[in-house]
A and B are shown apart, each in its own frame.
Chain A
Amino acid sequence: MKFSCIMTTFNDGALIRQSIHSILNQTHADFELLVIDDGSSNDTKTILADFDDPRIQVIPQANDGLSSARNRGLHLARGDYICFIDADDTRAPWSFADAARTIDETGADLILVNGAMIQQRAQIQPFMDQPTYQGVMREKHGSGDMPLAALKAWAAAYEPQSANKFISRDIIQRGQLRFPNDHFFEDILFHNMAIAHANRIEFLQSDSFTYFQRQYRNQLTGSNGQIRFDIIGTAGVLFQLFEAHRDFHNAGQRGALTLGALRLLRWCEGQISHYHRDAYRTALREMLRSIHSLFFVIDKSTPDPRGDRDDLSAYVKQVLA
């Protein structure tokens, strides 16, 4: 069982050392690590050059964006399963082994995993997917075997984030999956289309990665800059593509997808610079007007682990008004 771990970096500097070591020290030995250097300055390049390990491939590109770098990784990956890690995060030592065991046992082509989250305060928190994991486990115990449609709905309720899943390369090829070039908030498109193409999904309990909220460093998603606009484009294309997939008629999955997208859309509107709020709202309204109205029908079967369905439904009405 060979894994391809795709790591992208742009000026992560010394932080990337830990991240790379967390992959090299995996207890499961069969993997390749693709580090796509998206035009970093010399600091980071020097650190990368220090690693001398046949399992690492460093691929430089001119600064062309996170999605482009991830896509380059997807183009070059040769593993049976693919996972991602950002250059400032780490994977748990058993991460690949845990996934490999599950794949052997179940033949799953998509595996969603838990993670740890290190924030400002002392205690290490579970990553945001914890309530979702608990929700899907409760439903599993209640009903025994869950149908794929229900599993997909829960998977869609997972945080659209790149570290929380292993995807078979077969899914990537079947679905021609790529990240949206020139857009941030890229994960929501990839996440949901991977789910749409999955045939068997498993959810793992163990923490498989750690998400670090860095205090002294601006993270991409933490700025008020114009990249906030990108969610409008990414979500727009996701709605367009998903509408053409037969899973569009899986109400729970469609609803969970909509909630995930609306949550991000609302969050970005709240974060973008005030100078751009009008323009943001204009574009968002136009995008929402152009998609299928069934996306706004979020029925009771939709997983709602965060309990924000009503808030988000109200938000969409306000935008469209």
Chain B
Amino acid sequence: MTLLSKLIKGAPPGTDAQPDQVTSSYTVFGQMIDLAHANDRVEAERYLDDLNQIYQPFLASRVIPVAGICLDIGADAGWFAIPFAAAFPKWHVICLEADPSAFDLLRQNVSQAGLDNITCINAALHPDAPPLDLPARDKAGTDISDDLLASLTQTETAVFQRLLSLGSRLAPAPSNNVPKDHAVSRPALPLSALRAIAPDLIKLDAPGCEAAIGQALQTEPVGFVVGRLHANVPSVMFTPAKDAVPREHYLVHGEHALRRDYEDNFDSRVSRLDIVVAMYNAKTFIQECVDSLLADGCPDIRVIVVDDGSTDGSAEFVRDLYGDNDRVKLVQKANGGCASARNFGRYHSDVTHIAFVDADDRVDPDLFSALLEAARYTGAYVVEGGFKTFTVDDQGADVFEPSYEAKYYTQPGHHYLGDYDYDWVDGTQIMIGQPTIWRRVHRRDFLDRKDIWFPEHVRAFDDQMFQLLVGQYATAIAHVHGIHYHYRQHPAQDIKQGDERHFYSFNMFRNIFLRALDEGWNDILPTVGSLINTMHWSYSGLRDDLKPVYAEAAAEFLVTVQKTFGDVLDADHINRTGIQGLDALVQHKLASMENTPISHGMMRLESWRWQPEFIRMMQSLDQKTHP
């Protein structure tokens, strides 16, 4: 771990006075550097740590062009600029440093190192700095014209403030509102200087100015941005405009980081969130739903309403309401069920994060902007908020009920991100719970890589398989506290019908167990636990005439699982299903298979009781063909 050899050369022995400056030797980017800097041990450690933990790993993991312009914002004595210029001799580095003594050291270090590809400018960016007449750089080369250089050095001053325990760093301050002893006047460049310089890489160390710089860069073709954030900056500030040049960035803030890597689909997937709303005859609720999704005003969140062949004019209604809103996109398809509509929406999405919301529900105004923030800053495959159920009473008032999990989340989370706090939840925990996919944000690359889709032939509870696979693969999920999805309860809901569609569970679990075999899942018990819970829940809500068929189906299925995986079932599992006589049915079937070995082939068996389509085919025989 000693990529950097740290050696701080202090005052010579025998002298009492603290010297103003000391020299450190360190190695980074393959360069051995001696750097003179202010005698502030804490700051020196911090600069070295940033080189070691941020800049070196970032540059090591990128494909950096041979030549380019690097802009070092907050250069201090040249901690980054000097080794960078030495390591990339065909690059030109422009350093911005407003603090006069740090600037002197910077120039001293540049000349000491004998580097001619560094330009030092004694200024800092300031949002309120008066505009300059700046000629744009000729982007073909790496030369900075004398005109541009002359303009950049003809700066006026603006008001900055010193920051507690941040060394020489200065933050832009509004001129009228700074305590006198903190305020300093320093040469300042306007943000438009970024456009004039048009850097290819930016090293960012600019407390108090981060959001403004990020915003100014949104349309600029900067390929790389790396640095430390000194405050929690809304990630939206660093999202390049939709048609901007793709950008890789790595901005570290505490335990969090905004990171965008060159990876599959990097060119075609912008860093945003699409919320897919599958809509079928939901005219009554769709406006409430979409309005609540738009309420946060976050430009990085877009709603894709998928009209699944509605016949009640929902689609026209949505078009009339949101026709000119560029945050809402309506796509239409032939009716094919909720799963097909959700997948269809995913096909029409070209962004990094995706969520799936029901057309009759709604959300806290900040639910999805907070989730996107957590998703970006943690990099988690999946993040979620809480949820509560609601009904509307006779007077039209909302009646809320907390969710079953509210009792587990009474304390603040252990991690903080801006105004929110969150905890890490183990993925397997969501495998056993009821499907609540709508309160989550998923990374699109995760869903694609793990091949997690909504099974389109499944016409109810298709979200269960989705959730189970997400839980299996997601490792840890960030659960953000204090924000909620509002899950509407009404009697027409699928889950309350108790019809044949409950038998889709067998079909889905069969697929999941086959996948587990194929992929060598090491722990099958969470999936078995989920199966048992599902059986319990399905059976208790099932129509009475279907209960005997369900019991038989369950027995066949459990025996198959047992004969596939060996010893996974116990009496407790069977009791927990609440299915009458299940223990006897299972016992009977196992007895008849006494000589059958444990084999993965067993999971390939199929039963007419395990798919609603088969059951309907069987019912058609009972009713029509039999004499």
Chain A interface residues toward B at CB < 8 A: 57, 59-65, 67-68, 71-72, 75-76, 174-178, 180-183, 193, 196-197, 226, 229-230, 232-234, 236-237, 240-241, 244-246, 276, 278-287
**A237 nearest CB across to chain B (Å):** 5
* CB of B611, distance to nearest CB on chain A (Å): 6
Cα A67 to Cα B507 in complex, Å, equals 14
User: Quick one: CB contact mask for B332-351 with A, threshold 8 Å, 1 for yes?
Assistant: 01101000100110110000
Chain B residues contacting A67 (CB-CB under 8 Å) are: 457
B617 touches A286 (CB 8 A): no
With a 10 A CB-CB cut-off, give which of B607, B611, B620, B624 has the most chain A CB atoms: B620
By the criterion CB–CB under 8 Å, are B606 and A183 in contact?
yes
CB-based contact A64/B601 at 8 Å: no
Q: Knowing A68-B457, A232-B604 are in contact, say whether A193-B599 is a contact too (CB < 8 A).
A: no
Check A62 against B605 for contact (C-beta < 8 Å): no
User: Interface extent on B, as a size class?
Assistant: 35 or more
In the complex, are the beta carbons of B625 and A245 less than 8 A apart? yes
| CB of B421 to closest CB in A, whole Å | 36
Measured between beta carbons, the chain B residues less than 8 angstroms from A287 are 605
CB of A239 to closest CB in B, whole Å: 10
Give complex CA distance A230, B619 in Å. 24
A175-B605 in contact given A64-B457, A181-B457, A182-B511 (Cβ < 8 Å): no
A241 touches B601 (CB 8 A): no
Instruction: Report the separation of the CA atoms of residues A62 and B454 in the bound assembly, to the nearest whole angstrom.
Output: 8
Chain A proximity of B54: nearest CB distance (Å): 38
Distance between B80 CB and nearest chain A CB, rounded to angstroms: 42
The 4 closest A-B CB pairs, nearest first, are A279-B601, A233-B606, A283-B601, A62-B343
Chain A residues closer than 8 Å to B626, beta-carbon distance: 246
Contacting pair B597 A237 (CB below 8 A):
no
Check A180–B455 contact: CB distance below 8 A: no
Q: A68-B456, A278-B601 are in contact. List 8 more A-B contacts (CB 8 A).
A: A57-B334, A59-B334, A59-B336, A176-B617, A181-B613, A233-B605, A236-B607, A286-B602
Q: Tell me how far the C-beta of B448 lies from the nearest C-beta in chain A, rounded to whole angstroms.
A: 11
Q: Which of B453, B455, B456, B617 contacts A193 (CB 8 A)?
A: B617
Q: Does B621 contact A (CB under 8 A)?
A: yes
CB distance from B342 to the nearest CB of A (A): 9
Residue in B343, B605, B622 whose Cβ sees the most chain A Cβ within 10 Å: B605
| Alpha-carbon distance between A251 and B622 when the two chains are bound, in angstroms | 20
Smallest CB separation, B599 vs chain A (Å)? 4
- Measured between alpha carbons, how far is A286 from B346 in the docked complex, in Å? 41
The verdict on B593 contacting chain A, using a C-beta distance below 8 Å, is yes
Chain A residues lying within 8 Å of B65, measured Cβ to Cβ, are: none
**B507→A230 contact, CB < 8 A:** no
B625 touches A197 (CB 8 A): yes
Residue of A nearest to B598 (CB): A282
B262 CB within 8 Å of chain A: no
Whether A61 contacts B620 in the complex (CB less than 8 A), given A246-B627, A283-B604, comes out as: no
Residue of B nearest to A183 (CB): B606
| Chain B positions within 8 Å of A60 at CB level | 333, 344, 347
Q: List 9 A-B contacts (CB under 8 A).
A: A59-B333, A68-B457, A75-B336, A178-B616, A241-B608, A244-B622, A245-B625, A246-B627, A282-B599
Main secondary structure of the interface of A (DSSP, over half): helix
Interface centre among B457, B507, B511, B518 (most CB of A within 10 A): B457
Q: Fill in one digit per residue for B493-518: 1 if any A CB lies within 8 Å of its CB, else 0.
A: 00000000000000100110000001
Contacts of A71 in B (CB 8 A): 457, 613
**Do residues B608 and A237 form an inter-chain contact, with CB atoms below 8 A?**
yes
The verdict on A176 contacting B616 (CB below 8 Å), with A229-B601, A282-B597 known, is yes
Chain B residues contacting A230 (CB-CB under 8 Å) are 604
Interface pair A241/B621, CB less than 8 Å apart? yes
Tell whether, in the assembled complex, residue B619 and residue A176 are in contact, meaning their CB atoms are under 8 Å apart: yes
B231 at the interface (CB under 8 A from A): no
Are A174 and B624 in contact (CB-based, < 8 A)?
yes
Bound-state Cα–Cα, A232 to B514, Å: 14
B593 to chain A, nearest CB (A): 7
Report the bound CA distance from A281 to B618 in whole Å. Answer: 27
Q: Does B614 contact A (CB under 8 A)?
A: yes
Determine how close the nearest CB of chain B comes to the CB of A178; give it in whole angstroms: 4
Nearest opposing residue in chain B for A61, CB measure: B456
Residues in B neighbouring A245, C-beta threshold 8 A: 621, 625
Which among B453, B455, B614 is the interface contact of A241 at CB below 8 angstroms?
A: B614
The answer to whether the Cβ of B61 comes within 8 Å of any Cβ in the partner chain is no
B107 at the interface (CB under 8 A from A): no
Q: Is A180 touching B606 in the complex (CB atoms < 8 A)?
A: yes
A278 near B599: Cβ-Cβ < 8 Å? yes
A279:B613 contact, CB within 8 angstroms: no
Tell me the bound Cα distance from A279 to B600 in angstroms: 6
Contact of A237 among B454, B606, B624 (CB under 8 A): B606
CB-defined interface of B260-277 with A at 8 Å, one 1/0 digit per residue?
Answer: 000000000000000000
Q: B333 contacts which chain A residues (CB < 8 A)?
A: 59-60
**A-contact 0/1 string along B131-148, CB 8 Å cutoff:** 000000000000000000
Q: Looking across the interface, which residue of chain B has its beta carbon closest to that of A64?
A: B456
CB distance from B625 to the nearest CB of A (A): 6
Contact between B601 and A181 (Cβ–Cβ < 8 Å)?
A: no
Q: Are B606 and A276 in contact (CB under 8 A)?
A: no
List chain B residues, Cβ under 8 A from A241: 608, 614, 617-618, 621
CB closest residue in chain B, given A182: B511
Enumerate chain A residues within 8 angstroms of B619, measured Cβ to Cβ. Answer: 176
Chain B residue numbers with a CB within 8 Å of A62 are: 340, 343, 346-347, 453-454, 456
Nearest B residue (CB) for A57:
B334
Bound complex: CA A65 to CA B456 (Å): 9
Alpha-carbon separation in the docked complex, A282 to B593 (Å): 11
A232, B617: Cβ atoms closer than 8 Å:
no
B2 at the binding interface (Cβ < 8 Å): no
Q: Once the chains are docked, how many angstroms separate the CA of A246 from the CA of B510?
A: 30
* Complex Cα gap A251–B294 (Å): 65
Using Cβ atoms and an 8 Å threshold, which residues of chain B touch A234? 606
Determine if B620 and A176 form an interchain contact, defined as CB atoms under 8 angstroms apart: yes
* Neighbouring B residues of A61 by C-beta, 8 Å: 336, 340, 343, 456
Tell me which of A62, A246, A285 has the highest count of chain B C-beta atoms within 10 A of its own C-beta. Answer: A62
A180 touches B625 (CB 8 A): no
Q: Which residues of B have CB within 8 Å of A244?
A: 618, 621-622
Among A67, A236, A237, max chain B CB count under 10 A is at A237
Residues from chain A with a CB closer than 8 A to the CB of B616 are: 176, 178
